[in-house]
Amino acid sequence: MELFYLGPEGTHSHDAALRLRDAMLPSATVTACSTIPTVIDRTQRAAGEGLACVPIENSIQGAVAQTWDTLMKSVADGVTTQSLSILAALTLPIHHYAIYPIGTSFNDVVAVYSHPQALAQCQHHLAQMFPNALPVATNSTAEAVQYVAKEVGRNGMAQTSAVAIAGRRAAERYGLIASDDPIEDQPGNATRFALVAPVGSVAEAKDDLLKLSVPGEWVPAPEWTYTEYVVSLCLHGVAHCPGGLVGALLPFAQAGLNLGRVESRPVGDQLGNYVFYLDVSFPPQTNVAEITNFLSPVTRQLADNGVRIVQLGSYPIYQVQ
């Protein structure tokens, strides 16, 4: 089994992938990919022997739209590639550090490299620390550190005009210095990572994979706490009229179901055409076997009203302490 993640080595996704591998899939190998769509694509094409570790939500910047949109497309394109489903999720505390070579003068820095999410999560600190620098987006935080490290090697001297934003693991991996303190703007910064598998490989009675989505069927790492069970849905065809969205959400309220997230995303064919992502949240004491019974009346009612529902995952969420 191969576990794909957003690389290179040293990203927060790499950290999450290693934690998921060690706790859930000890025999799996971890493989870095350059972008989130590539992670999903490699997983779909791994002939049932691939899994993905992808970020799905951050406590500061919200949902990682690229991940959700790519997962949704995997379902829409299920005829030519395998549809994917979330099996479990892991919430990690995230700390960002300024990464730079020895001898860097902060006033001389003209560019700060990192993933767009990391840049956004640190924007106020960056303005104070590097007043003359512009943010430059990269595919991942570790890719940014790689770039700064390569510049040092290319020049044969300390590079004083660029820094990266990443985790300490990346600084250690590429031989650079990390700031003493983290620089994210909000305390309690955390990112949720999803373990994703092709629907076919789960349906084909791979018991070890099936167990991962059922709390109590396996023993999580000691520092993991089971916090909630979530069913992630995507609604298509919500009426574009006054009360259209209310009508789509009301059945959930009438059934006593808690919506932890509601978010619109453009379909992409024209302005004003949206799908809606929903997370139905259940407390950890919920009997997972009964969740389908809770949701079935809602999905039938929505279907009768012309709304198509796509399930993107039914999974436990764990918090790393």
What CATH number did the domain enclosing 63 receive? 3.30.70.260
CB atoms inside a 10 Å sphere around CB 205 = 8
Q: Which residues pair with 224 in a beta bridge?
A: 320
Same domain (yes/no): 83, 218 = yes
Same domain (yes/no): 21, 170 = no
Say what the pLDDT of residue 188 is.
86
Say what the pLDDT of residue 154 is.
60
Residue 198 maps to a domain: yes
Range of the domain at 268: 2-93+189-320
Say what the pLDDT of residue 210 is.
63
**DSSP letter (8 states) at residue 28:** P
What is the CATH classification number for the domain harbouring 127? 3.40.190.10
Single-letter residue type at 278: L
Say what the pLDDT of residue 209 is.
66
Q: pLDDT digit of tens for each residue in the chain (321 aa)?
A: 899 999 888 888 999 999 999 988 888 999 999 999 999 999 988 877 899 999 999 988 899 999 999 888 877 655 445 678 899 999 999 999 999 998 888 999 999 999 998 999 999 999 999 999 999 999 889 999 999 998 776 655 555 689 999 999 899 989 999 999 999 998 888 999 999 998 765 544 355 666 677 777 777 778 899 999 999 999 999 988 899 999 999 999 999 999 999 999 998 777 878 999 999 999 999 988 899 899 999 999 999 999 999 999 999 999 997
How would you classify the pairing of strands 258-266 and 274-282? antiparallel
- Tell me the pTM: 0.85
Say what the pLDDT of residue 1 is.
87
Same domain (yes/no): 308, 197 = yes
Say what the pLDDT of residue 80 is.
46
Residue 76 maps to a domain: yes
Residue 183 maps to a domain: no
Within 99-205, residue ranges assigned H as helices are 116-121, 123-129, 141-155, 168-174, 199-203
Single out the residue in 141, 158, 178 at which a domain terminates. 178
Say what the pLDDT of residue 283 is.
94
CA distance 41 to 46: 9
Say what the pLDDT of residue 186 is.
87
219 torsion bin: left (phi>0), alpha (psi -120 to 50), beta (else): beta
